[in-house]
Amino acid sequence: MRQASVERNTKETQIKATVNLDGSGHYEVSTGIGFLDHMLEQLSRHSLMDLKVEAKGDLHIDFHHTTEDSAICIGEAVAKALGERKGIARYGAATIPMDETLSEVAIDLSNRPYLIWKVEFSKPKLGEMDTELFKEWFQAFAQAAGATLHVWNKYGENNHHIVESCYKGLARALRQAAEIDPRKADAVPSTKGTLGGSL
């Protein structure tokens, strides 16, 4: 099983994240932010990655630190579980329809972090959560996981649908990219023989 746990303790947050890339989509998530919990549950369910997240943060200030640090912990746990990244498919992509919304996510588990974020919202908040924090979450995840990540909402009106389709897209793309290719299970998917660094 490709699984790993990461703990992050600062003056702002105390977070523990555990992932199993070869799981069944089982989740136990508690961040103190209801909408973020909902999105992380979607990430787990649709990637089939088991995910456990326990977070306590300075929510009396705002949701920024808990949102960003949860992504860092999950991303680091994914990177740790991938190990040398031998045998993985490496690339994944998903196009997710959700009612009036359509979003596309592409990922390269290249060990070269990069985020392209083409997502706009019509409202500053979803419930109590600032919509600008979703870019922060995806940026932190890409950085910590060592992933090149492109997220593009092609169209949509409902902000909830837009965000959820992005997380579901990440889930499906990550599932595809992290899967072991039985034809090359012992090889890193790069002509360099290693992932990371220059192209």
Which candidate, 110, 183, 95, 188, places its Cα nearest to that of 149? 110
Distance CA(178)–CA(78), nearest Å, equals 9
CATH number of the structural domain spanning residue 14: 3.30.230.40
Q: Which residue segment(s) compose the domain that 45 sits in? A: 3-184
Residue 190 scores a pLDDT above 80: no
Helix (H) or strand (E) holding 114: strand 114-118
Assess if residue 63 is contained within a domain.
Answer: yes
Assess if residue 130 is contained within a domain.
Answer: yes
Q: Which pLDDT tens digit goes with each residue over 141-189?
A: 999 999 999 999 999 999 999 999 999 999 999 999 999 988 776 766 5
Number of domains in the chain: 1
Assess if residue 198 is contained within a domain.
Answer: no
pLDDT score of 199: 45
Q: Which pLDDT tens digit goes with each residue over 8-42?
A: 999 999 999 999 999 999 999 999 999 999 999 99
pLDDT score of 184: 74
DSSP 8-state class, residue 61:
T
Taking a C-beta distance cutoff of 8 angstroms, is the pair 82, 74 a contact?
no
Site of tokens 């997710």: 96
Phi, psi of 98 (to 5 degrees): -145, 95
Assess if residue 199 is contained within a domain.
Answer: no
pTM, full prediction: 0.93
Mean pLDDT (whole number) for 182-198 = 63
pLDDT score of 186: 74
Assess if residue 191 is contained within a domain.
Answer: no
Residue 2 scores a pLDDT above 50: yes
Residue 193 scores a pLDDT above 90: no
Q: Which has more confidence, 44 or 183?
A: 44
Taking a C-beta distance cutoff of 8 angstroms, is the pair 68, 15 a contact?
no
Assess if residue 196 is contained within a domain.
Answer: no
Q: Which two tokens stand for residue 176?
A: 């595809």
Question: 3-class SS at 43?
Answer: helix
